[in-house]
Amino acid sequence: MTRKFFGTDGIRGLTNQMPMTAAMAQKVGQAAGAHFLRGQHRHRVVVGKDTRLSGYMMESALISGFTSVGMDVVMVGPMPTPAVALLARSMRADLGVMISASHNPYQDNGIKLFGPDGYKLTDADELAIEALLEAEPKLAPASEIGRARKIEDARGRYIHAAKLTFPEHLRLDGVKVVVDCANGAAYQVAPAALWELGADVVAIGVSPNGLNINDGCGSTDTALLQRKVVETGADVGIALDGDADRLIVVDETGRVVDGDQLMALIATGWKRHGLLHGGGIVATVMSNLGLERYLQSQDLTLERTKVGDRYVLETMRAKGFNVGGEQSGHIILSDYATTGDGLVAALQVLAELVVTGRAASELLHLFDPLPQLLKNVRFQGGAPLDTQPVQAAIADAEARLSGSGRLVIRKSGTEPLIRVMAEGEDEGLVAQVVDQICEAVKAAA
């Protein structure tokens, strides 16, 4: 059965347009609350958010929905997505909610839901909640309406948990780190955790105003971080996105290091220390073929999934892997977290820097990626990928890349975009086939 509102990462859209309206958020609160009202205990939901202006409106609407069906609400304020997942589990909540559109601009917002185990909801749970969205809510009697309260130690709890993932015998003394928090959810916790571990911290993207989240900063726009690392003579730069579940790194020369290189580094380091499970890692079809070849050279495997961190995690749990993620920097280390955690992943990278004593430029570039090109084509409606001209263009591209490259074409799960990616030995051919398919999609869209 197809989900109507949930995409690959919760419900997301332009604020004050369906489905990102206050009225819809209230319904989501009622539906999700009703779905998780199980047993006779007093039910609780942990609600966090990033720093975008619409977070206040969405938070109030969700609280109204949850309390109206009898669920108590614990508000933690601006916090990373992985922190909400962690707190939902550690506080024995029935549900965790993160209000965020991740790396999107401030105009967008989203609702991410976590179960009592701290994991994102299954497809079955999301379908059940969608069914309840269409039904009349069963409101609690006046005496059983939920209560809402804020907790003041949420940041401290998460900082402590993140620091525990850093090897106990190591310190970051003498390591100069520039951290770009994207004016987002980690603007307080990430610099604090790094400083407490001994690092010399230069923090940027830590002045949120509700409108500047992910704006010219963070993991999707690293130019500012690259300049700052070089200007300050830092050893390394760390870029998070708006809800801090992604990590991109910049070495001391200003060169960007993506999620594929970071997963390779963590996997080989953990293998060396006897910590890696599953004999390899899990990544999506978007990860570079160079990563796969490098892992093979290290006697490690790469298990590929469709795009979406939830599918990476499902495979990790099913097959016993403890490292997985996406090229975009969404890295899941299941020994420590139930979802991607940019700060925790960064601490593993920093640990390798300290242990090896090598410069970031030497340590972080483990393989040469094959030429890879990704382009997005926006469409207004319909199903352009099902049209004959687009299918013909795809078939021709696959034939031309046969034996020397890969082609991945998919509809975005969070935006009205068709994503066209190709990679191969011949950079010119890769560009040609991507442009060919994009033109066909534009004509059909």
* CA triple 152-218-112, angle to 5 deg: 55
Residue 103 backbone dihedrals phi, psi, to 5 degrees = -90, 0
Look up residue 53 and give its two tokens: 């202006």
When the pLDDT of each residue in the chain is averaged and rounded to a whole number, the result is: 95
Distance CA 218, CA 183 (A): 8
Buried b (16+ CB within 10 A) or exposed e, 238-270: bbbbbbbbbbbbbbbebebbbbbbbbbbbbbbb
Q: Is the peptide bond before 19 cis (omega within 30 degrees of 0)?
A: yes
What's CA 59's distance to the chain center, in Å?
20
Work out the percent of the chain whose per-residue pLDDT is above 70. 100
Q: For residue range 422-434, list pLDDT tens digits in order.
A: 999 999 999 999 9
- Checking if the pLDDT of 316 tops 80, the result is yes
Instruction: Give pLDDT, residue 412.
Output: 83
Instruction: Give pLDDT, residue 267.
Output: 98
* DSSP three-state, residue 81: helix
* DSSP symbols for 147-174: -EEE-S-HHHHHHHHHHHTS-TT---TT
Distance CA 256, CA 365 (A): 10
Distance CA 80, CA 240 (A): 10
Look up residue 65 and give its two tokens: 């929905």
First to last CA, the chain: 25
pTM: 0.91
* CA triple 163-164-166, angle to 5 deg: 70
- CB neighbours of residue 224 within 10 Å: 17
Catalytic annotation on 287? no
Architecture of domain 157-363 in this structure: 3-Layer(aba) Sandwich (3.40)
Would you say the CATH fold of 372-444 matches that of 157-363?
Answer: no
- Checking if the pLDDT of 445 tops 90, the result is no
In sequence order, the β-bridge partners of residue 421 are 374, 408
Residue with tokens 């015998």: 169
CB 91 within 8 A of CB 44: yes
For domain 11-151, give the CATH number: 3.40.120.10
Q: For residue range 389-438, list pLDDT tens digits in order.
A: 999 999 999 999 987 888 999 888 777 899 999 999 999 999 999 999 99
Q: For residue range 104-163, list pLDDT tens digits in order.
A: 999 999 999 999 999 999 889 999 999 999 999 999 999 999 999 999 999 999 999 999
Residue with tokens 């090229």: 327
Distance CA 298, CA 266 (A): 13
Closest CA to 418 of 388, 438, 402: 438
* DSSP three-state, residue 436: helix
Look up residue 285 and give its two tokens: 């079809």
* DSSP three-state, residue 378: strand
* DSSP symbols for 360-377: HHHHS--S-PPPEEEEEE
Instruction: Give pLDDT, residue 40.
Output: 84
- CB neighbours of residue 423 within 10 Å: 24
1 confidence band (pLDDT: 50, 70, 90): low
CB 337 within 8 A of CB 345: no
Distance CA 167, CA 189 (A): 19
Buried b (16+ CB within 10 A) or exposed e, 82-121: bbbbbbbbebebbbbbbbbbbbbebbbbbbbbbbbebbbb
Domain boundary assignment for the chain = 11-151, 157-363, 372-444
Residue of 100, 102, 219, 287 with catalytic role:
102
Pick the CATH number of 372-444 from 3.40.190.10, 3.55.50.30, 3.30.310.50, 3.90.1150.10: 3.30.310.50
* CA–CA distances in Å: residue 305 to residues 75, 146, 215, 226: 34, 40, 30, 31
* DSSP symbols for 204-265: ES----SS-TTSS-STT--HHHHHHHHHHT-SEEEEE-TTS--EEEEETTS-EE-HHHHHHH
